[in-house]
Amino acid sequence: MADAAAVDHGHRTGTGLSNNKLLMWVFLGSECLLFGGLISTYLIYRSRYADGPAPGDIFDIPFTSVSSFILLMSSLTMVLSLSALQRGDIRNNRVWLLATALLGSLFIGGQVYEFTTFLREGLGYTTSPFSSAFFTLTGFHGIHVSLGIVMLVSLLIASFRGTLTKERSETVEIVGLYWHFVDVVWIFIFTVIYLVPSPTS
């Protein structure tokens, strides 16, 4: 099956697997270490909110729940976009790519709104060790989502130029892997940072 997969994507490799896909998986494995570090740092500092707001006082769980649901559903639209391209359905591939980019943008919009609300309530980046760790973690994730949106828009442009065809569906699959990873990282962040009870002042 692995050999067949390599043939499908038009090149043979030493492992019998697509090098590009393998590289993305190695990259995602290394990203686990990056986010692991950021999440651990947050956990260590979440009780050190000094004179600023405590996490339990400032988080808006209903709002973040909606954002999380939006990002989760963007994973569905992403995989539907890949599925459409693998069938050779270019039109639906574009529709689902656009939907994924829009849902991702909505998530980022929600994050910007959350950050500005926190700033208005007195939680700046340097207010406390808790705030620095929180903004760094969620900000890094937001940057990842934003880069994903750039990739999705690039795919859309490639599609309209006629270069994104069924034969090149692996490109969408690789961007999809990145997008789903960003989603699973948020699954982790949403539970550990928001839903697990946080310290209150």
Partner 1 sequence: MNTTTQNVEAHEGGHDHPTDAKYIRVAIVLGIVTALEVATYFVNIPGAILIPVLLGMMVFKFFYVAAWFMHLRFDSPMFTKFFVTGLVLATLVYGVLLTVFEFWTKG
Site residues (CB under 8 A) for partner 1, limited to 51-90? 61-62, 65, 68-69, 72-73, 75-76, 78-80, 83, 86
The DSSP symbol for 127 reads S
Span between the terminal Cα atoms of the chain, in Å = 57
Q: Which is nearer to partner 1, 49 or 190 (CB)?
A: 190
User: Is residue 168 a contact residue for partner 1 (CB under 8 A)?
Assistant: no
CB of 91 to partner 1, least distance (A): 14
Q: Which amino acid is at 180?
A: H
**Sign of the dihedral through C-alpha 200, 188, 190, 124:** positive
Asked if residue 25 binds partner 1 (CB under 8 A), the reply is: yes
Nearer to partner 1 (CB atom), residue 118 or residue 190:
190
Residues 129-148 that bind partner 1 (CB under 8 A): none
Q: Residue 108 contacts by C-beta under 8 Å, 6 or more apart in sequence?
A: 142, 145, 146, 149
CB-nearer residue toward partner 1: 43 or 102 = 43
Q: How far is CA 142 from CA 12, 15, 160, 189, in A?
A: 36, 34, 27, 12
**Of 106, 111, 109, the residue nearest 140 (C-alpha):** 111
CB of 128 to partner 1, least distance (A): 16
Count of residues that bind partner 1 according to CB under 8 A: 58
Nearest CA-CA partner of 174 in 192, 194, 158: 158
Closest CA to 13 of 170, 165, 173: 170
Which residues sit at the interface with partner 1, rule CB under 8 A? 1-2, 4-5, 7-9, 15-17, 21-22, 25-26, 28-33, 35-37, 39-40, 43-44, 47, 61-62, 65, 68-69, 72-73, 75-76, 78-80, 83, 86, 173, 176-177, 180-181, 183-184, 187-188, 190-192, 195-197, 199
